[in-house]
């Protein structure tokens, strides 16, 4: 070829080749062996784990590591002296491949790259290249570790092999994932911003005519936008005051990977990223996009790859808070023993200890709610007693701390790094109960113990995020098959005494229940920067009106209604109103009748007593204990002026000692009508009563004249036609405080405890006005509702 043609071919090499060569040269990586270092990981904790990992190692059957590096990394060439030069390309344009994956190529059978006189042929498209089916090219995600799945080769002729993921600009070591019957699942580490990923598929059953291993490649672009505007889920390890800072493990594990605090932190962090990847994928499958909660992260030595641990490479990864308790090791373990076998008043003591420690550590102020998932490092299998001590599986909390707690008794079976995820979930080493627990007799092997530990802790974290027990899914122990989410093939199960699935498909995997994902969609931890702003009032109200009709109103929109016929402890029937893409356009008011509600139930449940739980798009919740009673004539009264009045659902439990019902019909609905001039509120740290004053000098009292002497008075501007519009209440078991709302938009102060209970806005639905108030009063007001009329 003439010299000028060589120069022209060099100048016209592809932009991708130019960028690749330039990037790799500028990074100082001049060795092909360095570029694709596939050194085996350090020894693993069991022989089974190590042998499995060895089988996952990338193929190295090309003529040499250097030739492999230069032959299938686009844009790199060797001139025989170890220097990289751009390969020549033909003058014709490279054909474009119509694929959503960015590019799928087979890079075997090409001319020798060392022969510069031979023009380089454009690589042929390959039907064997990996095809990601779980996420589309160019998608936006919001978590650091993304779970993907897809297919390699021809599904009509399934084949096993290995898929290697090369991460964006080599910012994370290559990871290797098994391909089973042409299917794969993988965890991909992402950098903030755009990520260009390469997937290589190899199989011993696929080789070229010269005996070299075929490498089939594809590319994908994923955009990672970290979340910083939503509250994080905090991760904590709790240790006793005199803790040895170790967790239960068999001697072989202790010898090979240790059982100290640093190992516990790495394993807990990896489990947390598995929770996040699993939850984001479940939200996507339920039509809510790839949204998920976030973790608080910090710049620290990385642990998501074993190579980071060896090199000390720094990364921004989830922070694990280590909190030392006031209690000693003996106190914690004895407390737990009493909790499991002692009197009922000991129940929940470990949860209280954890709650106090977390509250003292984070110091939340009113309105600064913390979401915290904790692990007791000192959990210990007591073989003599036959129980795990210093362990409790609980989730819940109050308005300031939402908390989940769990023990470390399954921690030895957790993966410490991304590379160990598949080996950990396929490790059949039997659980040695001389050293570690077989939790609930469902963790008879290492992979099953990993399911129980990681999954049951996720179950309790679901509780702290507001999820009750469900009819299926994670909130009903579905986590015993959590492994299927991350692996394509399942080993023998000691729990079922059966050989596992040959191919784990989506229908076989663990899942969040649909109602759990609805809760997550409106949860503040799952909000995205692109979400439309919500009304700050999350409350909703239920109103009885004419003809047995019930109205439900919510400022943020009605999201869904759960139906509980008598005898159902978990929800099996529900009605959805939530707009998945934009909850701000969900209906603000819906109309229900008993007939339409009962038609949603099976025939054998339609005559039972029916309880409803109604949820708003702002996260508010309201319970109707007996829908038939609410919709019946019991909720209807006749007002003094002859009009019909209707009672709304009531706030407060009306269960205080000496609580008595009370009711006031306002003067505007009396005969003769009286003009309301002012309202005096009696209160201390809760609502004691309200007195309504009229223009004729009379008044009506609701509740009692308690609290601060004289109360607090709010005067209406009747000359401007100002009238009572509604109330804003702080209420829980009783009514903590009240704020008066008027037709001109004015608001009083919150009389009582402005931070007590939860907020509820009581304003009649369109076409109705306030006719009075009703409820109950004991030492103070413990029940409050409105009477409305047309």
Exposure b/e, 385-409, CB count within 10 A at least 16 = b: eeebbbbbbbbbbeebbbbbbbbbb
Token readout for 249 is 């493990």
Residues constituting the chain: 790
- pTM, 2 dp: 0.81
Task: Give per-residue pLDDT as tens, 724-775.
Answer: 999 999 998 999 999 999 999 999 999 999 988 888 899 998 889 999 999 9
**Is there a contact between 437 and 410 (Cβ–Cβ < 8 Å)?**
yes
Asked whether this chain's domains 3-224 and 540-631 adopt the same fold, the reply is yes
Cβ(375)–Cβ(268) below 8 Å: yes
Residue 281 has pLDDT above 80, yes or no: yes
Question: CATH topology for 540-631?
Answer: Immunoglobulin-like (2.60.40)
Q: Identify the CA nearest to 555 among candidates 624, 622, 623, 616.
A: 616
Residues of the chain above pLDDT 90, percent: 64
Residues 6+ away with beta carbon under 8 Å from 360: none
Q: Report the percent of the chain where pLDDT is more than 70.
A: 82
* Interacting residues of 668 by C-beta distance below 8 A, sequence separation 6+: 674, 675, 676, 771
Domain ranges of the chain: 3-224, 233-521, 540-631, 633-789
Average pLDDT of the segment spanning 7-34: 40
Question: Is 151 assigned a catalytic role?
Answer: no
- Which is nearest to 610 in space by CA: 591, 632, 589, 588? 632
The catalytically annotated residue of 460, 490, 562, 691 is: 460
Q: What is the pLDDT of residue 339?
A: 52
| 206 — pLDDT class (breaks 50, 70, 90) | confident
Contact 731, 775 (CB under 8 A): no
Peptide bond into 331 cis (omega under 30): no
187 has which bridge partners? 147
Q: How many CA atoms lie within 13 A of 535 on its CB side?
A: 21
Supply the DSSP symbol for 670: S
Residues 6+ apart with CB under 8 A from 687: 681, 703, 734, 735, 736, 737, 738, 751, 752, 780, 781, 784
The CATH number given to 633-789 is: 2.100.10.30
Mean pLDDT throughout 308-333? 94
User: Mind listing the pLDDT tens digit for each residue in 526-561?
Assistant: 999 888 888 888 888 899 888 888 999 999 999 999
Please state which CATH number belongs to domain 3-224: 2.60.40.10
């Amino acid at each position: 070829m003439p010299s000028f043609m060589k120069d022209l071919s060099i100048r016209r090499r592809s932009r991708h080749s130019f960028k690749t060569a330039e990037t790799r040269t500028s990074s100082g990586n001049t060795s092909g062996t360095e570029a694709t270092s596939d050194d085996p990981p350090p020894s693993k904790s069991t022989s089974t784990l190590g042998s499995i990992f060895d089988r996952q190692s990338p193929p190295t059957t090309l003529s040499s590591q250097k030739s492999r590096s230069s032959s299938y990394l686009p844009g790199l060439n060797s001139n025989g002296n170890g220097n990289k030069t751009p390969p020549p390309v033909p003058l014709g344009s490279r054909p474009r491949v119509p694929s959503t994956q960015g590019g799928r190529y087979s890079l075997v059978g090409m001319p020798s790259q060392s022969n510069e006189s031979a023009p380089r042929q454009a690589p042929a498209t390959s039907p064997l290249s990996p095809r990601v089916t779980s996420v589309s090219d160019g998608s936006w995600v919001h978590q650091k570790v993304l779970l993907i799945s897809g297919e390699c080769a021809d599904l009509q002729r399934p084949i096993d092999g290995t898929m290697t993921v090369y991460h964006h600009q080599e910012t994370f070591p290559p990871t290797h994932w098994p391909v089973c019957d042409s299917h794969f699942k993988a965890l991909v580490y992402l950098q903030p911003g755009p990520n260009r990923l390469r997937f290589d598929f190899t199989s011993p059953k696929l080789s070229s005519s010269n005996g070299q291993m075929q490498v089939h490649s594809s590319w994908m672009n994923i955009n990672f936008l970290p979340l910083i505007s939503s509250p994080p889920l905090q991760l904590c390890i709790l240790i006793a005051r005199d803790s040895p800072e170790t967790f239960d493990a068999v001697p072989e594990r202790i010898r090979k990977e240790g059982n100290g605090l640093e190992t516990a932190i790495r394993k807990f962090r990896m489990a947390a990223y598995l929770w996040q990847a699993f939850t984001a994928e479940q939200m996507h499958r339920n039509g809510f996009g790839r949204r998920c909660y976030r973790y608080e992260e910090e710049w620290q030595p990385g642990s998501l790859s074993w190579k980071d641990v060896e090199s000390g490479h720094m990364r921004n990864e989830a922070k694990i808070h280590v909190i030392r308790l006031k209690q000693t090791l003996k106190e914690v373990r004895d407390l737990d023993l009493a909790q499991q076998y002692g009197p009922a008043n000991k129940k929940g003591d470990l949860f209280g200890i954890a709650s106090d420690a977390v509250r003292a550590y984070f110091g939340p102020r009113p309105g600064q709610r913390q979401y915290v998932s904790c692990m007791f490092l000192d959990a210990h299998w007591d073989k003599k007693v036959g129980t795990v001590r210093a362990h409790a599986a609980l989730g819940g909390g109050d308005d300031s701390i939402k908390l989940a707690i769990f023990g470390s008794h399954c921690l030895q079976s957790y993966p410490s790094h991304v590379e160990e995820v598949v080996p950990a979930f396929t490790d059949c080493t039997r659980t040695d109960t001389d050293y570690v627990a077989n939790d609930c007799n469902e963790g008879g092997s290492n992979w099953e113990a990993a399911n129980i530990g990681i999954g049951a802790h996720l179950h309790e974290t679901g509780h702290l995020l507001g999820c009750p027990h469900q009819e299926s899914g994670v909130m009903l122990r579905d986590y015993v098959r959590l492994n299927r989410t991350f692996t394509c093939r399942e080993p023998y199960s000691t729990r079922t005494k059966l050989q596992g699935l040959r191919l784990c498909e989506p229908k076989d995997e663990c899942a969040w229940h649909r109602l759990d994902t609805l809760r997550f969609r409106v949860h503040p931890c799952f909000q995205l920067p692109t979400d439309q702003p919500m009304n700050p009032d999350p409350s909703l109200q239920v109103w009885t009106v004419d003809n047995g009709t019930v109205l439900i109103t919510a400022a943020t929109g009605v999201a869904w209604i759960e139906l509980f016929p008598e005898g159902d402890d978990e929800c099996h029937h529900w009605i959805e109103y939530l707009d998945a893409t934009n909850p701000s356009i969900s209906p603000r008011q819906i109309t229900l009748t008993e007939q339409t509600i009962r038609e949603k139930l099976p025939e054998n449940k339609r005559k039972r007593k029916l309880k409803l739980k109604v949820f708003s798009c702002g996260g508010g919740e309201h319970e109707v204990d007996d829908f038939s009673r609410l919709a019946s004539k019991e909720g209807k009264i006749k007002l003094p002026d002859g009009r019909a009045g209707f009672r709304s659902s009531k706030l407060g439990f009306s269960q205080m000692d000496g609580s008595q019902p009370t009711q006031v019909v306002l003067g505007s609905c009396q005969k003769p009508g009286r003009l309301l001039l002012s309202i005096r509120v009696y209160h201390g740290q809760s609502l004691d009563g309200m007195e309504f004053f009229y223009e004729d000098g009379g008044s009506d009292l609701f509740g009692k004249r308690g609290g601060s002497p004289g109360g607090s008075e709010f005067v209406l501007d009747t000359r401007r036609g100002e009238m009572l519009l509604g109330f804003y209440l702080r209420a829980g078991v009783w009514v903590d405080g009240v704020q008066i709302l008027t037709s001109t938009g004015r608001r009083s102060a919150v009389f009582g405890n402005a931070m007590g209970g939860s907020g509820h806005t009581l304003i009649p639905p369109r076409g109705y006005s306030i006719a009075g108030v009703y409820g109950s009063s004991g030492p103070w007001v413990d029940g409050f509702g409105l009477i409305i009329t047309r």
